[in-house]
Amino acid sequence: MSPIVSGSSDRPGNPDRASTPDTSSARPAGSDAPLSPLPPAVVDTSVDDRRTAGLTIGVDVGGTKVAAGVVDGAGTVLASIRRPTPGHSAAEVADTIAAVVAELCADYEVKAVGIGAAGWIDADRSRVLFAPNLAWRDEPLRDEVSGRVGLPVVVENDANAMAWAEYRFGAGRGRRDLVCLTVGTGIGSGIVLGGELYRGAFGIGAETGHMRMVPGGHLCGCGNRGCWEQYASGRALVRAAREIAAMDPSAAAAMLEACGGDAERLTGPDVTEAARKGDPAAIRCLTEIGHWLGEGMASLTAILDPDRFVVGGGVSDSGELLLGPARERFAETVPARAHRPQAEVVIAELGSQAGLVGAADLARI
């Protein structure tokens, strides 16, 4: 049989690299500077345990695409497939997932399937309780797919899957307590505490994008007003840029040039590109989003006290234009800032494959 998938030698992480603990340093006498981060607890992921035995398939399901890959215990994607998400029928989506799994199984012997789905997943990792961009309402996705492919299946929230991948193989490797934020159209997040993925009592924890930051603020898709993702996301970035373009087109000339002069066609990447070229208005927009991001991270720190924030998603492509202001505001607003170590804020490493890599690894647990 001829190959039906394209092999990939890209390794999403480097599991062989040594974890280098941060070096603590004392705060100078009389200084208000925050304490340096403590050395992280190093997690040994090289042990050949239940998480590294055998191949699994990870599937990342979003509103527009179904991406799947065969992943080994070191986080290496051996082969991958991508298909459009079919319409809005739950049965058609399950059929598409089963089809890509079957194609991959034709060339690889796998033992389980992990599905990262953009929605709220129940505590048993079996049902999608709600998905904003797909027709999943209390959908028994695990059983629907397992019955089609004849393999064990687990279902996980896509942001949780990304967080787990970054913890195991990416920017969170070697840390036991981290928060991973996916800053895209909204804010997705996943939390790892003590080396375990935090899911909450009902499976739908870590929806930090829906923390209320501004009572009575912008209306959110969740039905509330003033949620964090309304102020620190791609949607918020575009709204800020369009407001500038409407009030002062000359100040937004570089951004308007990128979208043919029509502010309604302005996108997040347009703003980022203009900012990279030094456009003051675009830089101001990213600074505003970064400051809101830092505000939310400071609030999360008061509750969780992580030692690292990992930031991914489309808006993170702006790099330090976003993270610089986020770190600045985080340092200004974190509780007891002069008397505690501060979490690091870093860019995610695994890119678009993080979701399927994390889902595949969670299928081993």
Q: Residue 151: left (phi > 0), alpha (psi -120 to 50), or beta?
A: beta
d(CA 331, CA 325): 10
- Across the strands, what pairs with 114? 58, 154
Instruction: Please give the pLDDT value at position 3.
Output: 34
Q: For strands 6-7 and 77-84, give the pairing.
A: antiparallel
List of domains in the chain: 1-9+48-170+349-365 (3.30.420.40), 174-348 (3.30.420.40)
List the structure tokens of 347.
Answer: 């860019």
Integer angstrom CA distances of residue 56 from 2, 50, 79, 306, 365 = 21, 12, 11, 30, 11
- pTM assigned to the model: 0.81
Integer angstrom CA distances of residue 128 from 91, 116, 121, 187 = 13, 10, 5, 19
Helix axes 234-247 and 280-304, enclosed angle (nearest 10): 150
Stretches in the chain below the pLDDT threshold 50 = 1-48, 50-51
Q: Which of 42, 17, 20 is nearest to 174 (CA)?
A: 42
d(CA 364, CA 52): 8
- The tens digit of pLDDT for each residue in 275-319 reads 999 999 999 999 999 999 999 999 999 999 999 999 999 999 999
Q: Which of 81, 46, 86 is nearest to 62 (CA)?
A: 86
Report yes or no: 266 and 249 within 8 Å, Cβ to Cβ: no
Instruction: Please give the pLDDT value at position 252.
Output: 83
List the structure tokens of 50.
Answer: 């239940």
